[in-house]
Amino acid sequence: MSQKKTTPEKPVEEVSPSKVKRNIQWPEILSWGATVVVVAVLLLVLFNKLQLPGEVEASPIDENPTAMAFPLPTLQATSSANVIDVDRAANIDTTIPEGVRQSIIKYTIQEGDTIFGISKEFGLKPESILWANYDYFYDDPTTALTIGAVLTIPPTDGILYTWKEGDDLAKIADKYDVSETSIVSWPSNHLDITDPTIQKDAFVMIPGGTRELKSWIQTVAYAPRSGATRVVSGPGGCQAPSSGYVGSTGFIWPTGSNYISGFDFTSYHLGIDIAAALGTPVMASDSGTVVYSGWNDTGYGYMVMIDHNNGYATLYGHLSSVSVACGSNVLQGSIIGLAGSTGNSTGAHLHFEVRLNGAFVNPHYVLP
C-alpha cells in the first residue's frame, strides 16, 4: 500500500468580528479626519483666526484699512561717529524790512531845491523835514531855503525829537499822538523794552508823530464884491470895477499838467502845487475880474488873483511874470502869466488856490 505524503493542514485562525471591522474602517476614518481638518482651516482663515503662509500679520493697533501691506524697515542704530550735527544759534535781532532807512542823513541845500522836492527825494512828507529842522524853519513852512544850509533828514515820517532832561516817555508819546510801544520798538532808537531809559540830548525817532504847523500860506486880505468897489491889499492890488465876467464854476486846470509836484492841499498848505517848468503859460481857471496882479510880499512872489463874481476866487502864485492888468476882465483859458519860482520858493511850480466867500476850498473839489 502506497503511502501518500501529505502536508498537515494549518489550523484555520479565527478572526474576531471586531478586528475585521477595524481593518475595514481605517481609511474611512482617515478620510473624514482630513476633511474635518480642511474645514477647520478654512473656517479659521475665514474669520482671520489663522495667518496663511505669505501673509503679514497686521499690527494690533493699526486700524487704518488703507495701511501699508508691508512693515517699515527697522531703524538700525549707527555709531555716534557717523552722525553729523548742525548747530543753529537763535537770531535775536529785529528784522528790518528791506529798503527802510534807519540812520539820520545830513543834506546840503542845492540851487533849485524846494522843501517838497527834497521830501520827495527821500520818500518823506514835507512836514517831517520841517519838524526835524525846528532851528531852521521854526515850524514855519514859508521860510525860504538858503543854498548851502544843512538840513537833517529823518529816517521815516514823524518827529525826530531831541530828548530833554525830565522828559517822560508816556508824556512824549501822548504829546505827539503815538503809542509808547511805537517809540520803544523803533529799531534805530536802540531801547531796551524792559527798561527804556533815554539819555539827555539823544535823538529819538517818533514814527508817525505829529504836531501843529503855522499856515503855509498867509491869507491875502481882500474885500469881496460889495456893489461899489473892492480892493486887495498889496502893491499889485487895485480898485476893481463893480461889474465883470461871471464864472461858470466849471473850473479847468490852470496849466497843461494836473500833476502835483509839491504840497497837496492840507490845513497848513491851503492850495496845491502844480508841476510847471519855468516859463510855462498859466491860464485863468474860470472867467472873472482880475483883482490882484503883481508882486506880493506874503510869500507868493508875483501873483494874480481873479474874482469870478459868483463867490469864487482863484489865486496863482510864484509866477515869473504876469500878463494881465489888475481890474481887467478875463475869459476862462486866457493866459494870465508864466510859471516861475518867485517868493518863498526855490523851484519852479504853480501854487494854485480856490476860495469861496473868502474861505479856502480844496481845489480838487472843483477841478475836473
Rounded to an integer, what distance in angstroms lies between the CA atom of residue 299 and that of residue 220?
A: 10
Residues 352/314, Cβ–Cβ less than 8 Å = yes
Pull the grid cell for residue 303. 501873483
Query: Mind listing the pLDDT tens digit for each residue in 126-156?
Result: 889 989 998 888 877 767 788 899 999 999 9
Which residue type sits at 211?
A: R
Residues 6+ apart with CB under 8 A from 348: 276, 277, 278, 280, 318, 320, 339, 340, 341
User: What's the pLDDT at 60?
Assistant: 46
Q: How many CB atoms lie within 10 A of CB 172?
A: 20
User: What's the pLDDT at 193?
Assistant: 82
User: What's the pLDDT at 11?
Assistant: 47
Task: Note the pTM of the prediction, 2 decimals.
Answer: 0.51
Profile the chain (368 residues) by mean pLDDT over runs of 10 residues.
Answer: 47 47 62 76 63 49 46 50 48 47 87 78 88 86 81 92 90 92 89 86 91 65 46 76 86 91 81 92 96 89 93 94 94 96 85 90 91
User: What's the pLDDT at 220?
Assistant: 59
Host H or E run for residue 35: helix 17-46
* CB burial readout 37-47, b (16+ within 10 A) else e: eeeeeeeeeee
Query: Mind listing the pLDDT tens digit for each residue in 246-270?
Result: 999 999 999 988 888 877 888 778 8
User: What's the pLDDT at 352?
Assistant: 95
